[in-house]
């Protein structure tokens, strides 16, 4: 493993991470009748909206407490209360999810304290749940904001009524709406009840509107979140997350709900672990439908392995996504020759080694806290076959004349980022077909003959 060669840059050029309030906004958009509210300058909500919107091709409303110069000096309590009031009047939401920003964190705003003094009486029963999460953009990345918000929601809403249920809590991590739909389908096919948080499969990927929707329909129901303390088990995806504070662990500590910490179910190995866990929790066998799906996937691996074997991929994105993709790529014989993330949990290297124990011998380079300038420098040394990650890698892929397979977030130079399935056997099948065909197409296009037969 060659992490020691890394040049220590002071500045970040072309970052491979976004800021934490963006992650929190993602989560709050995935709860029924919920409005995210950023406590900070209006630029934060505008920038984050534009990024989410350009990926999902969907409307995304995020409110803001609109700091001004005086607010920055004297505190934002009054602005925050006014924002909450205006949101209630306009949207009548069931939940307002407040995320802080670097501005409110720098001046040391205590959001729970501000809200304590709120006069709820004037809103009768219409007062929504209010959840706040601390997301200064100078700590961690968007994925920390995402997991932090999930944990904050569970922390303030989940209870234990001591009614034992068959419910499974699913903490999916930052996946696509199509992924979330697929996960729901899988869990439902085990004939069990579930609570998935967040669930933006409808709110961020919906049909045309027949009439105006103040808040798009869908999202995790508050009652479902409340019942998480009584669940039979939680499943939480992310090998990095498994080492950190999380919603699943909170439910174990507080309500003794067992938590299965699994890798993101990308590729056969990680998906098998997911189905195995579902089978154990529900006591039911894996449905025939998925046995068939897995069978077809392995059949295609058998048919396609010779085309992809030893191809070398540059993988980048959130640490857990990179870990998941590395697991999938290595199981089909592709070498994830560069695994890079803007995240700096300090765990990426170990997690990749857990999956690919001989990573060192193969020459896999793992770059933590990476930006695209570093990824570019490393990539130039090894002449990879393709890049796999979000739209931000396009510049270097273009410069090196290599294909970029778009996955993850943000995808703003193609349609359908919301419809990519990464997880399950179905996701692996789609990824495998796209990757194989990309490699085959490149060989075909660059060959002097250009055979039309494989």
Partner 1 sequence: MEALSKKRIDEEKVSLDPDEFIDPETLKLEILSKYPPKVARKKAKQIIVNRKETEEKYPEIQANVRTVPGIISQRGCCYAGCKGVVMGPTRDIINLTHGPIGCGFYSWLTRRNQTDPSTTPDGHNFMNYCFSTDMEDKEIIFGGEKKLRAAIQEAYDIFKPKMISVFATCPVGLIGDDVHAVTREMEEKLGITIFGFSCEGYKGVSQSAGHHVANNGLFQHVIGLDNTVKDGDYRVNLLGEYNIGGDAFEIERILNKCGITIISTFSGNSSVDFFANSHTADLNLIMCHRSINYVAEMMEKKYGIPWFKINFLSAGAMSQSLRKIAEYYGEQKLIDRVEEVIAEEMPAVEKAQAEVRPRLEGKLAMMFVGGSRAHHYQEMFREMGMIPFCAGYEFAHRDDYEGRQVLPNLKVDADSRNIQELDVEKDPERYNPRISIEELEALERNSIKLRDYEGMMTDMPSGTIVIDDISQYETERLLETYKPAVFCAGIKEKYSVQKHGIPMKQLHSYDNGGPYAGYRGAINFYHEIDRMVNSKVWDHIKAPWEKSPELAARYTYE
Site for partner 1 in 386-415 (CB under 8 A): 395
Q: Among residues 3, 74, 106, 284, which is the contact residue for partner 1, using CB under 8 A? A: 106
Least separation in angstroms between CB 262 and partner 1: 29
In this chain, which stretch among 105-113, 219-227, 289-297, 322-330 interacts with partner 1, using CB under 8 A? 105-113
* Residues forming beta bridges with residue 171, ordered by sequence position: 197, 236
In this chain, which stretch among 5-13, 314-322, 379-387, 435-443 interacts with partner 1, using CB under 8 A? 5-13
Binding mask 212-251 for partner 1 (x = CB under 8 A): xxx-------------------------------------
Least separation in angstroms between CB 230 and partner 1: 34
127 counts as binding partner 1 under rule CB under 8 A: no
282 counts as binding partner 1 under rule CB under 8 A: no
**Is the distance from CB of 329 to CB of 336 less than 8 angstroms?**
yes
User: 410 preceded by cis ω (within 30°)?
Assistant: yes
| The two three-digit tokens of residue 239, written as one number | 């090998």
In this chain, which stretch among 117-125, 209-217, 271-279, 428-436 interacts with partner 1, using CB under 8 A? 209-217
Lay out the sheet containing 34-39: strands in order across.
63-64, 34-39, 95-100, 129-133
Distance in Å from the first CA to the final CA of the chain? 35
Q: Which is nearer to partner 1, 33 or 239 (CB)?
A: 33
| The two three-digit tokens of residue 147, written as one number | 């997991």
Least separation in angstroms between CB 418 and partner 1: 11
Least separation in angstroms between CB 179 and partner 1: 20
107 counts as binding partner 1 under rule CB under 8 A: yes
**Distance (Å, rounded) from C-alpha 423 to C-alpha 186?**
11
Locate tokens 């993602």: which residue?
26
- Residues 409-448 binding partner 1 (CB under 8 A) are none
Binding mask 135-174 for partner 1 (x = CB under 8 A): -xxxx-x---------------------------------
| Size of site (CB under 8 A) for partner 1 | 74
Q: Which is nearer to partner 1, 62 or 133 (CB)?
A: 62
DSSP label at 201? Answer: T
What is each CA distance from 206 to 94, 201, 417, in whole angstroms? Answer: 20, 8, 13
**Distance (Å, rounded) from C-alpha 436 to C-alpha 72?**
53
Least separation in angstroms between CB 301 and partner 1: 37
User: 76 preceded by cis ω (within 30°)?
Assistant: no
Q: Among residues 34, 79, 167, 341, which is the contact residue for partner 1, using CB under 8 A? A: 79
**Distance (Å, rounded) from C-alpha 18 to C-alpha 417?**
17
**Distance (Å, rounded) from C-alpha 36 to C-alpha 24?**
8
Binding mask 329-368 for partner 1 (x = CB under 8 A): -------------x--------------------------
Least separation in angstroms between CB 65 and partner 1: 5
**Is the distance from CB of 390 to CB of 317 less than 8 angstroms?**
yes
Q: Which is nearer to partner 1, 247 or 418 (CB)?
A: 418
Least separation in angstroms between CB 201 and partner 1: 16
**Distance (Å, rounded) from C-alpha 250 to C-alpha 263?**
18
Shortest CA distance to 42 belongs to which of 79, 14, 85, 90? 79
Shortest CA distance to 415 belongs to which of 55, 58, 60? 55
In this chain, which stretch among 161-169, 194-202, 203-211, 421-429 interacts with partner 1, using CB under 8 A? 203-211
**Distance (Å, rounded) from C-alpha 272 to C-alpha 268?**
6
Least separation in angstroms between CB 59 and partner 1: 4
- Residues 11-70 binding partner 1 (CB under 8 A) are 11-15, 17-19, 21-22, 37, 40-51, 53-54, 56-59, 61-70
**Distance (Å, rounded) from C-alpha 369 to C-alpha 413?**
24
């Amino acid at each position: 493993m060659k992490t020691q060669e890394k040049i220590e840059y002071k500045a970040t050029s072309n970052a491979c991470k976004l800021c934490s309030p963006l992650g929190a906004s993602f989560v709050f958009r995935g709860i029924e009748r919920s409005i995210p509210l950023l406590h900070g300058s209006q630029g934060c909500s505008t920038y984050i909206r534009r990024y989410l919107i350009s990926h999902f091709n969907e409307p995304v409303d995020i409110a803001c407490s609109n700091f001004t110069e005086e607010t920055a000096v004297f505190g934002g309590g009054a602005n925050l209360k006014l924002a909450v009031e205006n949101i209630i009047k306009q949207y009548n939401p069931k939940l307002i999810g407040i995320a802080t920003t670097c501005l409110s964190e720098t001046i040391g705003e205590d959001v729970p304290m501000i809200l304590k003094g709120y006069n709820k009486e004037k809103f009768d029963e219409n007062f929504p749940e209010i959840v706040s999460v601390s997301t200064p953009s100078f700590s961690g990345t968007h994925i920390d904001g995402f997991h932090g918000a999930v944990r904050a929601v569970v922390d303030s809403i989940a209870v234990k009524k001591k009614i034992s249920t068959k419910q499974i809590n699913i903490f999916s991590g930052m996946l696509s709406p199509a992924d979330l739909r697929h996960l729901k389908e899988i869990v439902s096919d085990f004939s069990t009840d579930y609570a998935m948080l967040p669930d933006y499969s409808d709110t961020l990927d919906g049909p045309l509107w027949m009439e105006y929707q103040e808040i798009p329909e869908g999202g995790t129901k508050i009652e479902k979140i409340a019942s998480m303390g009584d669940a039979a088990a939680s499943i939480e995806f992310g090998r990095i997350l498994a080492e950190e504070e999380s919603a699943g662990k909170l439910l174990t500590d507080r309500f003794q709900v067992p938590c299965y910490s699994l890798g993101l179910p990308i590729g056969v190995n990680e998906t098998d672990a997911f189905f195995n866990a579902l089978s154990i929790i529900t006591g039911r066998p894996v449905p025939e439908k998925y046995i068939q799906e897995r069978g077809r996937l392995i059949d295609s691996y058998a048919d396609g392995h010779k085309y992809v074997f030893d191809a070398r991929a540059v993988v980048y994105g959130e640490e857990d996504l990179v870990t998941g993709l590395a697991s999938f790529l290595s199981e089909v014989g592709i070498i994830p020759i560069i695994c890079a993330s803007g995240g700096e949990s300090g765990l990426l290297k170990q997690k990749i080694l857990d999956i690919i124990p001989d990573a060192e011998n193969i020459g896999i380079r793992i770059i933590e806290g990476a930006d695209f300038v570093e990824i570019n420098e490393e990539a130039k040394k090894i002449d990879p076959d393709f890049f796999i990650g979000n739209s931000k890698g396009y510049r270097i892929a273009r410069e090196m004349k290599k294909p970029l397979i778009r996955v993850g977030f943000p995808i703003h130079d193609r349609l359908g980022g919301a419809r990519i399935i990464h997880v399950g056997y179905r996701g692996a099948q789609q990824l495998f077909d796209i990757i194989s065909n990309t490699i085959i197409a490149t060989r075909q296009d660059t060959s002097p003959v250009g055979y039309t037969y494989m």
